[in-house]
Amino acid sequence: MRLNCEYLPATEVARQELVLLHGWGVNSSIWRTLLIYLRPWANLRLLELPGCAPGAELDRGEPALQDILAGILAQGPRQAVYLGWSLGGQLAMVLAAQNPDRVAGIITVCSNPCFVSREDWPGMPASTFAAFRAGLRADPAAALRRFDSLQVSGSPRSRARMRQLQKLDRRPASEDLQYGLHWLETLDQRAALPDLNRPQLHLLAQSDELVPAALAQSLERLLSQTPGARVRLLQGSSHVATLDTPAQVVQEARKFLADSDLLPAVAAQPELLAKRDVADSFSRAARVYDSVAQLQRDVGEELLRRLDTLDLQPEAMLDLGSGTGYCCPALQRRFPLADYYGLDIAEGMVVYARGQQQQARGWLVGDAEALPLANDCMDLVFSSLAVQWCYRPQLLFAELARVLRPGGFCVFTSLGPGTLRELRAAWAAVDDHQHVNRFLPVAALQSAASGVPGVHLSLDTHQFRMHYQRVGDLLNELKTLGAHNMNRDRPGGLTSRRTLQGMLQAYERWREEGLLPASYDVVVGVMEKL
C-alpha cells in the first residue's frame, strides 16, 4: 500500500531521521506546531494513514494492518526514530516490535499500548468505545465532531484548540474510519513493550480525557526492568499535546534522543553564499536586467519548448525565480486557463515584474528552499536559471514535491560547474582566490532528488556560448545582471592592477575568430511528482 508522504529535510544540520505518525480522526497537520522546533535538526517524514485520516485514499477492500505497516516502512528511510501520537504511537510500537532493524527508537505522545481498558489496565471503558463506534456508523461527521471535543477536553484553552482542530486540512469523515477504530480497539502492545531492544519514550498528558494520566504509573511498572525506557507526564496539556505544549513535547523528545545516543553531533557545512546577498544583488539589477539578459532569454525559450513534451493542462502554475517576469506572457499564452504566480527571492525583481506584468494572478517574495505556499497547490513549476543559487538541493526538491499536486511537473534550468570555465581558468592563472561563482554538478542534483520520496527527476545538459570583444564586456554584463561573484570566500578588497592585467592576458588565449567566448553549462531538469 502506497501512503502519501510529505518529506521535510532539516533546514540546518540533520542529526536524526524522524517518521511522524498521526492518530485517529486527524491527519499529518496535527504535527504542524512542532515543525518549527524539529526542522532545524531532523529530516522529517509526515505520513497520511488510511483508515485513520478522514478522506485518506483507501485501496479496494478492507486495509489490513500489516499493509499499513508495510506502507509506512516503504516511505521511511533505512532506519529512523518513529514519533507517534495517539493511535500513531501504537503503530510505532508494533513497528519496533516487528522490525527492530528499521527502528532506532520510538517516541509516543498521548498513546496507550492498550487503548480500551482492561481489569488491570486504565483506558477508555469498553462500553463507551462501543457507543462511539456505533455513532460513527450512524453519522461519521457528528462522531468526528464529538471526538474533537473529547480530544480538547482538559486543555487550558479548549476553545482555541477546537478551532485549531477544525482548521486542519481534513476531508469529510466517512465509514472508512471504522478500520482505524478497529485497530484502536484491538491493538495491545503490553506484552511486547518490555522486550523492545530499542530506546522508548512515552509522553502522557496530565489532563488527557482519552488516555488517562493514571496510565503513567501502569507504564512505569510495566517497563521497570526495561533499559532505555522512559515515561514522562506533560503538565498543562490535554490529548492534543502537540497543540497545547509543542515546545515541551520537542524538548522532552530531544533530551531523550540525546541521552539515548540518538542525536549524534554532525559538523555543519559552511554556506557557499548568503541568500541575502543574492536577493540584494538581483534587486538592484531589476530595472536594467533585461538590457543585457540575452543568455537568460535564450535559455528561457529553450525551457518553454521543453513544455511541449509534457501532457499537462495546469490550473495553477508557479514561475520560480521569475525575475523581471519575462516568461510570464509566454506561459500565459501557452496555458491561458491557468493562474500564473511569479515568485522571486529578490524583492526588487518582484516589484518591477508586478508593474510590468499586471495580468498575473499574484507575485510573491520567497526562497525556493522554503516556499511560502500551501501543500499540493501547483500543477506546474517553471524555473529558468534560478536553481543554481540553491546550494541545498534536497531542501529545494522537497519543497517542490510539497507544493506540486500528484501528477504535476517542475521544469527547470540551472547552471553547472562548467559555466564560465574560460573566466575561471584565466583567474586561476594569476591567483588562488575564488573569483567565479561555483555551481552544483548534475550528480549532486540527482542525488538530492533521489532522497525525496515520491518524485522522479530526469536531467540533461546543453552548452550555450556567448561572445565578446573584450573581457570587460563580460564582466560588466555579469555585474549588470546582478550575477557577479557572490561566493562567501570571494577575495576581499580591490583586485590589484597587476593581477587584473594578468587575468586579461590569460583570457586572450581563448580568443577565436576575433572574439572571446564565455561558455555556459546549462542543466535542464524535469521533475514529476508521482
Give the Cα separation of 36 and 6 in Å (integer): 15
SS3 254: helix
* Degrees, nearest 5: CA angle 265-266-270: 140
Contact 80, 18 (CB under 8 A): yes
* Degrees, nearest 5: CA angle 190-243-378: 110
Catalytic residue among 239, 244, 322, 384: 239
Give the Cα separation of 457 and 478 in Å (integer): 30
SS3 106: strand
Region of 236 (left: φ > 0; alpha: ψ -120 to 50; beta: rest) is: left
Q: Active-site residue 86, yes or no?
A: yes
Catalytic residue among 28, 29, 86, 414: 86
Q: Residue 524 pairs with which residues in a beta bridge?
A: 413, 460
Catalytic residue among 208, 290, 379, 521: 208
Alpha carbon 332 to its chain's center: 28
| Per-position b or e across 434-452, b if 16+ CB within 10 A of its CB | bbbbbbbebeebeebbeeb
Q: How many CA atoms lie within 13 A of 372 on its CB side?
A: 11
Residue 212, CA distances (Å) to 121, 188, 443, 456 in order: 11, 16, 52, 45
Contact 266, 354 (CB under 8 A): no
* Backbone torsions φ then ψ of 44, nearest 5 degrees: -115, 140
SS3 200: strand
Give the Cα separation of 436 and 478 in Å (integer): 11
CB under 8 Å to 523, separation ≥6 — which residues? 387, 413, 414, 415, 416, 442, 445, 459, 460, 461
Contact 108, 201 (CB under 8 A): yes
In SS3 terms, 321-372 reads as: CCCCCCCHHHHHHHCCCCEEEEEECCHHHHHHHHHHCCCCCEEEECECCECC
Closest residue by Cα to residue 219 from 108, 125, 140: 108
CA dihedral 275→280→281→286, nearest 10 degrees, is: 120
Residue 21, CA distances (Å) to 85, 218, 219, 350 in order: 6, 24, 21, 39
Q: Say which amino acid occupies 63.
A: P
Catalytic (active-site) positions: 86, 208, 239
